[in-house]
Amino acid sequence: MNTDALQSQLESYFKWFHRHPELSNDEHETTARIREILTGAGVEILNIPLKTGLVARIRGARGSSAPAESKAESHSSPPDGPVVALRSDIDALPVTEISCLDYASEQSGVMHACGHDFHITALLGTALLLQAEKENLGGTIKLIFQPAEEGGGGAQQVLDTGVLDDTAEIYGLHTAAENKAGVIAVSPGPSHAAVGAFRILLRGVGGHAAYPHLCKDPIVAGAQIINAAQTIISRNTSPFDQAVLSFTHTEAGSNWNVIPPEALLEGTTRAFSVEKLTGLNEQLKHIAVHTGEVNGIAVEYEWHMNTISTNNDPALTAFVSETAKAMGYRVQPRLPGMGGEDFALYQQRIPGVFWTIGVGSPQALHHPGFIADTAALSAASRLMAALGKEALRRLGAIIL
Ligand SMILES: [Zn+2]
Ligand SMILES: [Zn+2]
């Protein structure tokens, strides 16, 4: 398929996915459409227990540098040759789109504001490219269309099926709103932060707003907690450590003259190590519980880690960068960000690289005005296909 034909095919796929966004763990139509396109192209879909999302497989000739029949049997070689996984996520966000695109979201209050529609489409293009030259593949490619990346536990669901137990390397992509269409950005080490989510429930005593001395006011205590918590980063974290603490949801009371009995505070902590993230939450819990105590308020503190930080393998990062440069892409380093990405869970088990491709959006990811420039679709597909093919060639060479 020539570049123009692939690009126009992908643009039409992309518009469909953009029109039909679905939230985490609810990606039924999306999965059906992916299945339809892959099946139409003759790509095998693995029968694994995923409610939404799917994993497809493209098996090439076994080994990379010799015809299959001339190779000696080796017990250390897996039956399908080396396996490389390529991953896209497929879920959308509870965001109301404000664009005037003719293919804007048709699902009220739901939008592909993180560019996962771009990722799906790019990986479908990769599937078409690799399927067309499967005889030249020196092993097996697994294409992961992962559900529920936006905090819904999707990577863990895929890992729990065991479908990646035989995988040697994994590659994932994300759109970069801030970069021009087609620019590749990648760096070794952590690129996305470990993410904590906390919930603080304050239980006081409600009553008449005219008689606050007869109440235990959870709103005042909550405000003190929010203010005191600002010192966790500003006074207790080294300026050389990257960390974030944000309150994102407060809820208390329902009218102007009643002091409510309870207040709720929620938010997120971010850091690049589990130790630092745990430390941030211990400090916040300490502040919350003791501030509550001073005010006569009982405090329940809960937190959980949504994901660990990503960690790009240095040698494989160089491989991505060199492969992209050899294909004529502009490649630049990617500064780490405090966003989270559950691709990290794959990297905990399998060496891999999470790289980004520019889509020149006027607004950032998760913004209702995010628009991905579709010009980079076939470029993303081609790079991902090359990474899969070249990684198999390299791995095959090692096995043989
Ligand atoms: Zn996102
Ligand atoms: Zn995303």
Instruction: Tell me how far the alpha carbon of residue 364 lies from the centroid of ligand 1, in angstroms.
Output: 10
Instruction: Tell me how far the alpha carbon of residue 312 lies from the centroid of ligand 1, in angstroms.
Output: 19
Decide: helix, strand or coil at residue 43: coil
Instruction: Tell me how far the alpha carbon of residue 193 lies from the centroid of ligand 1, in angstroms.
Output: 13
Task: Residue 202: count other Cβ atoms within 10 Å of its Cβ.
Answer: 27
Contact 376, 181 (CB under 8 A): yes
Contact 351, 357 (CB under 8 A): no
Looking at all shown ligands, the one closest to residue 87's CA atom is 2
Closest to 310 (Cα-Cα) out of 198, 188, 147, 196: 188
Angle between the 3-19 and 28-40 helix axes, to the nearest 10 degrees?
Answer: 160
Q: pLDDT per residue over 152-184, tens digit each? A: 899 999 999 999 999 999 999 999 999 999 999
Reported as type and span, the H/E element at residue 129 is helix 116-132
Q: What token pair was written down for 130?
A: 């690799």
Q: Calculate the alpha carbon distances from 390 to 14, 80, 99, 138, 366 in Å.
A: 26, 16, 39, 9, 33
Instruction: Tell me how far the alpha carbon of residue 383 lies from the centroid of ligand 2, in angstroms.
Output: 19
Instruction: Tell me how far the alpha carbon of residue 112 lies from the centroid of ligand 1, in angstroms.
Output: 9
pLDDT value of position 400:
44
Closest to 358 (Cα-Cα) out of 175, 89, 191, 122: 175
Torsion of CA 354, 357, 361, 364, to 10 degrees: 20
Instruction: Tell me how far the alpha carbon of residue 343 lies from the centroid of ligand 2, in angstroms.
Output: 10
Task: Residue 51: count other Cβ atoms within 10 Å of its Cβ.
Answer: 12
Instruction: Tell me how far the alpha carbon of residue 177 lies from the centroid of ligand 1, in angstroms.
Output: 12
Looking at all shown ligands, the one closest to residue 366's CA atom is 1
Place of tokens 């990474």: 387
Strand-strand pairing, 262-271 and 243-252: antiparallel
Looking at all shown ligands, the one closest to residue 339's CA atom is 1
Q: What token pair was written down for 1?
A: 């398929």
Instruction: Tell me how far the alpha carbon of residue 276 lies from the centroid of ligand 2, in angstroms.
Output: 24
Q: What is the pTM of this model?
A: 0.90
Please list, residue by residue across 242-255, b when 16 or more beta carbons sit within 10 angstroms of its beta carbon and e when fewer do: bbbbebeeeebbee
pLDDT value of position 394:
95
Q: Calculate the alpha carbon distances from 201 to 23, 189, 196, 198 in Å.
A: 27, 36, 17, 10
Task: Residue 390: count other Cβ atoms within 10 Å of its Cβ.
Answer: 18
pLDDT value of position 66:
43
Instruction: Tell me how far the alpha carbon of residue 198 lies from the centroid of ligand 1, in angstroms.
Output: 19
| Spans of the chain below 50 pLDDT | 63-77, 400
Looking at all shown ligands, the one closest to residue 151's CA atom is 1
Phi, psi of 254 (to 5 degrees): -140, -5
Looking at all shown ligands, the one closest to residue 119's CA atom is 2
Instruction: Tell me how far the alpha carbon of residue 115 lies from the centroid of ligand 1, in angstroms.
Output: 8
Reported as type and span, the H/E element at residue 171 is strand 169-176
Instruction: Tell me how far the alpha carbon of residue 150 lies from the centroid of ligand 2, in angstroms.
Output: 7
Contact 126, 86 (CB under 8 A): yes
Phi, psi of 77 (to 5 degrees): -85, 130
Instruction: Tell me how far the alpha carbon of residue 212 lies from the centroid of ligand 2, in angstroms.
Output: 46
Instruction: Tell me how far the alpha carbon of residue 190 lies from the centroid of ligand 1, in angstroms.
Output: 17
What residues does 88 pair with on adjacent strands?
Answer: 145
Phi, psi of 290 (to 5 degrees): -75, -35
Looking at all shown ligands, the one closest to residue 89's CA atom is 2
Instruction: Tell me how far the alpha carbon of residue 116 lies from the centroid of ligand 1, in angstroms.
Output: 8
Instruction: Tell me how far the alpha carbon of residue 47 lies from the centroid of ligand 2, in angstroms.
Output: 26
**AA letter at 380:** A
Q: pLDDT per residue over 268-324, tens digit each? A: 999 999 999 999 999 999 999 999 999 999 999 999 999 999 999 999 999 999 999
Instruction: Tell me how far the alpha carbon of residue 119 lies from the centroid of ligand 2, in angstroms.
Output: 9
Instruction: Tell me how far the alpha carbon of residue 11 lies from the centroid of ligand 2, in angstroms.
Output: 19
Burial class, 162, CB count within 10 angstroms (exposed 0-12 / middle 13-18 / buried 19+): exposed
Looking at all shown ligands, the one closest to residue 175's CA atom is 2
Q: What token pair was written down for 8?
A: 């126009």
Contact 264, 251 (CB under 8 A): yes
